[in-house]
Structure 1
Amino acid sequence: MIEETAMIDINPRYHVKRKVITLRKRKTDTKKIFIIHDGTGRLDSCFLLSELIHNDFSIYGITLNDDIRFVPKKITIEDIAKKYIKEIKKIQPDGPYFLIGWCVGGNIAFQMASQLEIMGNQIGFCGLFDTLPPKYFSQIHSKDFSIESETDFICSFITNKELKDKLVDCNDVVKFWTIVRDELTEENFDKELFIKMDKVGLCLNIPNIENTLLYDMFYGINIMRTLHDARVFHIPENKLQATVHLFKAKEMSIDAIDEWSKYSNKAIKYEVDGDHYSMLGTHINSLSSKLNEVLQNILIDLNNN
């Protein structure tokens, strides 16, 4: 199951014009933490955390790559990381870099840390929050994102035969989703059944999905599909020399998180209260307390060196 958002009630069509947004800025602004968006493409899951992180840091959020939109597409974690590095370097040209990511945001943060190391930059902190390692997930559809995968995805829920036939006869994914955008209506789509038949948890991550417009629903879902597909095929080419800090939710925990040690020189695991969602919600104090403890020790070490 794909589990991403902490379910704050906002429009799933989440894009902002700025690629990096300021979540909290200190007057000196000498120490910075960059938080990568989650698998829904949103940052709101980490808004509360940004208020609780150690006061020495300014906090910046990396927003969704604007290549990822309504139409699902093939994209790589490597390419996403490369674009995000360009953006954070506009704010902080040199290391040490402090990076945080929850779920698939952690996969992106890890790849950013790896690429930054190759460029000769120091990684001060790479924190992964309940982020599962490479090779854990499988594709939602064996032929993502083809006409076959897209027709399998929604056509059985379309009640208008003429529209369904038009989509089945389509030979281009962009054209397919353009037709969906322009012609599919609530009256000719069985949303209730679509939600019920969702076996991978995509619909769970759309707030108030029953009352969400079809366009907004598919916008949010296709962002998740794109990012999930990128995660499925991501295998780091280089072992991270910096320590990777793994923050693992105690409830419904998955032992596979320990596999990150294969991709890093050193991995340290911390267990925090809550599950995948509540670690950033009702149990945020457990996470922020442990995170601040770790950050404080890192700052001491950096100052001593």
Structure 2
Amino acid sequence: MGLSWPYHALGAYLDCPIVGIQQVPDDGPGPESIRDMAQRYADTVQSLYPGGPYHLLGWSFGGLVVHELAVELRRRGCVVGRLIVLDATPCADEVTDDITAAVREAEILKYVLRANGIDLPADDLEPFTYQRAAELIPERQHANFGLPSAQLLEILVANSIANERHRSGHRPTVFDGDLTIFVATRGGNDSTLLEDWRPYVRGDIVEYAVDSTHNEMLNAESLKLFGAQLKAALVDGQAPGVSAAGRSIAGVTGT
């Protein structure tokens, strides 16, 4: 959706500055591809921290972007200290072209409510609109929580649709360093992310399994499960994991 808000929860585990790069509209044209995003974001991080090194983390779609950002920073001669992706697949699944803005809006609203602990009725047959979402908040006794504004929601919907288009046309460039992957395993699905990323990473790959769903990876409960490992991987680079075949193992953007 292009927001870095979910990453604020990492502050409970990391003793370092956390810079979130958001996909927000400006006066110019939006990015035309993930590589275009990576070039823009590289400009941003270099302007903030010209000397590096850069420790990069991305979740979901942000994992694709941060991998390409790492490639771009290396192309510019920068040092990428760590590259970490949270439950991100390197290549797109089949993309459905007929998803409407209304359908995507409903998906985003449901995600926002669930992320804030608001249960959704399983048998609700009404169209899930902004008004319906607003009605559920007092019904579920969450008076202190407010929905994003209608204008922001419109931006999130546009970002989500554009990002799906970018993802469908993206083939990752090979990164010449190491990669750490945290995989959401809730639901019993066997992960192939380590093998999926192997063609696009020249260095070592370490994988961790997290008992979480994809959408809950950055909530407080899930971070209790892997926050310490994440800190070790990001700051120390010494947390144990499962390595990719071929080399031995010694040791941020929005969905």
TM-score by length of 2: 0.69
Query: Secondary structure at 2:237's aligned position in 1?
Result: helix
- In the other structure, the counterpart of 1:31 is none
Quote the Cα distance in structure 2 between the aligned partners of 1:90 and 1:277.
Answer: 31
Deviations 1:97-141 (A, max 9, x none): 10011111111110000111112222100110111112x323331
Quote the Cα distance in structure 2 between the aligned partners of 1:254 and 1:102.
Answer: 19
The correspondence for 1:114, drawn from 71, 76, 79, is: 71
Q: Which amino acid aligns with 1:153?
A: T
The correspondence for 1:232, drawn from 168, 181, 191, is: 168
The range that moved more, 261-270 or 272-281, is 272-281
- In the other structure, the counterpart of 1:96 is 53
- In the other structure, the counterpart of 1:63 is 22
Give the greater-gyration-radius structure (CA).
1
Is 1:290 the counterpart of 2:229? The answer is: yes
- Mapped contact 2:23–2:159 kept (Cα < 8 A): no
Q: Which amino acid aligns with 1:275?
A: T
Query: Secondary structure at 2:77's aligned position in 1?
Result: coil
- Deviation at residue 66 of structure 1 after TM alignment: 2.6
- In the other structure, the counterpart of 1:246 is 181
- Mapped contact 1:279–1:287 kept (Cα < 8 A): no
- In the other structure, the counterpart of 1:189 is none
Is 1:51 the counterpart of 2:8? The answer is: no
- Mapped contact 1:261–1:267 kept (Cα < 8 A): yes
Quote the Cα distance in structure 2 between the aligned partners of 1:74 and 1:295.
Answer: 28
Q: 1:86 to 1:270 in 2, by over 3 A?
A: same
- In the other structure, the counterpart of 2:2 is 41
Q: 1:65 to 1:76 in 2, by over 3 A?
A: farther
- Mapped contact 2:53–2:80 kept (Cα < 8 A): yes
Let me know the Cα RMSD of the aligned residues. 3.1
Query: Secondary structure at 2:177's aligned position in 1?
Result: strand
Residue-pair matches, total: 205
- In the other structure, the counterpart of 1:222 is 158
- Deviation at residue 219 of structure 1 after TM alignment: 3.1
Quote the Cα distance in structure 2 between the aligned partners of 1:116 and 1:214.
Answer: 36
Quote the Cα distance in structure 1 between the aligned partners of 2:152 and 2:70.
Answer: 33
Q: 1:217 to 1:94 in 2, by over 3 A?
A: closer
- Deviation at residue 96 of structure 1 after TM alignment: 2.0
Q: Identity rate of aligned residues, in percent?
A: 20
Task: Show structure 2 runs of 5+ residues with no match.
Answer: 114-128, 135-146, 240-255
Quote the Cα distance in structure 2 between the aligned partners of 1:218 and 1:199.
Answer: 8
- In the other structure, the counterpart of 2:93 is 137
Deviations 1:202-238 (A, max 9, x none): 553354842377655443212111112112211123x
Query: Secondary structure at 1:251's aligned position in 2?
Result: coil
- Deviation at residue 91 of structure 1 after TM alignment: 1.6
- Mapped contact 1:279–1:286 kept (Cα < 8 A): no
Task: Show structure 1 runs of 5+ residues with no match.
Answer: 1-39, 142-148, 155-193, 301-305
Query: Secondary structure at 1:223's aligned position in 2?
Result: helix
Quote the Cα distance in structure 2 between the aligned partners of 1:251 and 1:68.
Answer: 41
